[in-house]
Amino acid sequence: MKFFTMFWEYRDYFFTGVQYTLLLAAIGVICGFILGLLIALVRMSPWKMVRFLGNAWVEFLRGTPMMVQLLIIHYGFSQLFGVNFTPIQSGAITLSINSSAYLAEIFRAGIQGVDRGQGEAARSLGMTQGMSLRFIIIPQAIKSVLPAIGNEFITIIKESSIVSIIGVTELIFQSGSVVGITYNGMTPYLIVAVIYFILTFTLSRILGVFERKLKASDNR
């Protein structure tokens, strides 16, 4: 009973946290999607130096903790370049660039998984390489990797909790506020754990339905 009583009493805190968590996750995936697709194409460039830059981007972001990236963007950029981001902006940028590194690998695998003969057929019909990528290869690649993109969205929802360290009022930050008010160090975090589970479970079920519809359309 204490669980539900505390949730209802401090529901405004938790609902505010959910809003910021979903906002940051949505920004992270949408911007990461666009940036990740560009990085994937950069990594497949015929020019060695361009490929090196794309590889460096992916390897650095995958090889360093997201917390370090967040602190560099929020505090390091301010001291070094005089660029002052708000906590929301820093969180969104960090989630976007971090997500882009993983999505770039997902897209690269999807593009390379498309039959090369389709690209050759498109060029034989007079399409340029850019047109064949845009209209033939990339749409098929995205369709094949949609489940992986959905999994990245779920991951970003959970990893968005890290932005609480710079003052973003997402779920973890709000639960800390409730702990400070109630002096209860267990129940608020249990409530947040349940909320995270509901968010990720619901999203995974929605993605599962969408994936089955895509398979059904392929069979037709």
pLDDT given at position 99? 93
pLDDT given at position 219? 58
Task: Give kind and range of the element (H or E) at residue 86.
Answer: none
Phi first, then psi, for residue 167 (nearest 5°) are 95, 10
pLDDT given at position 208? 80
Q: Calculate helix-pair angle for 138-159, 11-43, nearest 10 degrees.
A: 140
Tens digit of each residue's pLDDT, the chain (220 residues): 688 889 999 999 999 999 999 999 889 989 999 999 999 999 988 889 999 999 999 999 999 999 999 999 999 998 888 889 999 999 999 999 999 999 999 998 888 887 777 777 777 777 777 777 777 788 888 788 888 888 888 889 888 899 999 888 889 999 999 999 999 989 999 999 999 999 999 988 888 887 777 766 665 5
H-only helix segments in 44-86: 48-63, 66-71, 77-81
Residue 126 DSSP label: T
**Cα dist from 87 to 17, 153, 218, whole Å:** 14, 21, 43
Do residues 22 and 157 lie in contact, with contact meaning Cβ atoms separated by under 8 Å? yes
pLDDT given at position 123? 73
- Number of domains, the chain: 1
The whole-model pTM stands at 0.88
**Which range of residues forms the domain containing residue 107?**
2-219
CATH number at residue 200: 1.10.3720.10
